[in-house]
Amino acid sequence: MNLVINNLTQRFGTTTVLDDLSLVTGDIGSLVLVGPSGGGKSTLLRILAGLDVPTAGQLSFDGTALPRDEAGLLAYRRTVGTVFQAYNLFPHLSARENLILPLVHVHGLSRAEAEARVVEPLERFQLADHADKRPAQLSGGQNQRIAILRALVVQPTRLFLDEPTSALDPEMTAEVLDMIEALKETGTDFVLVTHAMQFARQVADEVAFIGAGGVLAHGTATEVFENCENPRVTTFFEKVLR
């Protein structure tokens, strides 16, 4: 994927969250957004996923501009997958039914087609034994992995993941990070917001450090984490990586 952002601004009332942000990536498979809380990472991700419309600016993936009208955004959202901090699974449905439901009611597959499509992903990510359990019967890591699978089974052009491990303990975090790493190995494109810095270094083709509503650093993991000359960025890493 190639992402181009020009002069992106997002305001909520009198609060400016993104301020004239610009970013151009190479032809990459994974972009990881890091930086301090409140710096604009999640707001940027929501815009990229088509969930919010920016106040000003332009952005495109692979040469195609993101739509701004509701019909265009709805069509775009059907081509991508988004995973949030909270699992947002339907508590009264089994894990399997949580995967099947959007395939049938949003993407128009028949019940039989949807059931067939979810079999292989459940097995590949070692969740088949838990497929008929409801979310309350699953661990936090299992719930988040089901949420990622729900985004994955629609066969999206790319995934957007907003701090998918922030509410998990270390063991459950490891489960989810292993799954994301496996997605990268299979060629799934994604944009990830995370505070897991070592993991970011491991999976990112490019890293963008978002702070104060702008891009304070951008490049490979080595360029951003080790060779960045922006003192705000180096100070941040000195605190969180020690």
- Which three-class secondary structure string do you get for 176-201? HHHHHHHHHHCCCCEEEECCCHHHHH
pTM of the model: 0.93
Strands 56-61 and 159-162: unpaired
Angle formed at CA 40 by CA 223 and CA 172, multiple of 5 degrees: 75
Determine phi and psi for 209, rounding to 5 degrees: -90, 115
Residue 167 has a pLDDT of 75
Sign, CA torsion 129/131/137/139: positive
Residue 88 has a pLDDT of 87
* CA neighbor of 89 nearest in space, from 45, 57, 130, 135: 135
Name the residue type at position 102: P
Given a contact cutoff of 8 angstroms between Cβ atoms, the answer to whether 160 and 83 are in contact is: yes
**CATH, domain 1-80+158-242, list 3.40.50.970, 3.40.50.300, 2.30.130.10, 3.40.50.10490:** 3.40.50.300
- Mean pLDDT per segment of 10 residues, for the chain of length 242 residues? 97 95 97 95 97 96 95 95 89 96 94 96 93 95 93 94 87 89 92 93 96 96 93 92 76
Q: Which residues pair with 41 in a beta bridge?
A: none
187-236: pLDDT as tens digits: 999 999 999 998 999 999 999 999 999 999 999 999 999 999 999 999 99
Residue 171 has a pLDDT of 84
Residue 166 has a pLDDT of 82
Burial class (CB in 10 A: 0-12, 13-18, 19+), 108: exposed
> How far, in whole angstroms, is CA 219 from its chain's centroid?
19
**Can you give the three-state secondary structure of the chain, one letter per residue?**
CCEEEEEEEEEECCEEEEEEEEEECCCCCEEEEECCCCCCHHHHHHHHCCCCCCCEEEEEECCEECCCCHHHHHHHHCCCEEECCCCCCCCCCCHHHHHHHHHHHCCCCCHHHHHHHHHHHHHHCCCHHHCCCCHHHCCHHHHHHHHHHHHHCCCCCCEEEECCCCCCCHHHHHHHHHHHHHHHHCCCCEEEECCCHHHHHHHCCEEEEEECCEEEEEECHHHHHCCCCCHHHHHHHHHHCC
Residue 20 has a pLDDT of 96
Give the tokens for residue 124: 């590949």
Q: Alpha-carbon distance 224 to 219, whole Å?
A: 6
Domain ranges of the chain: 1-80+158-242, 89-155
Look at the chain and count its residues. 242
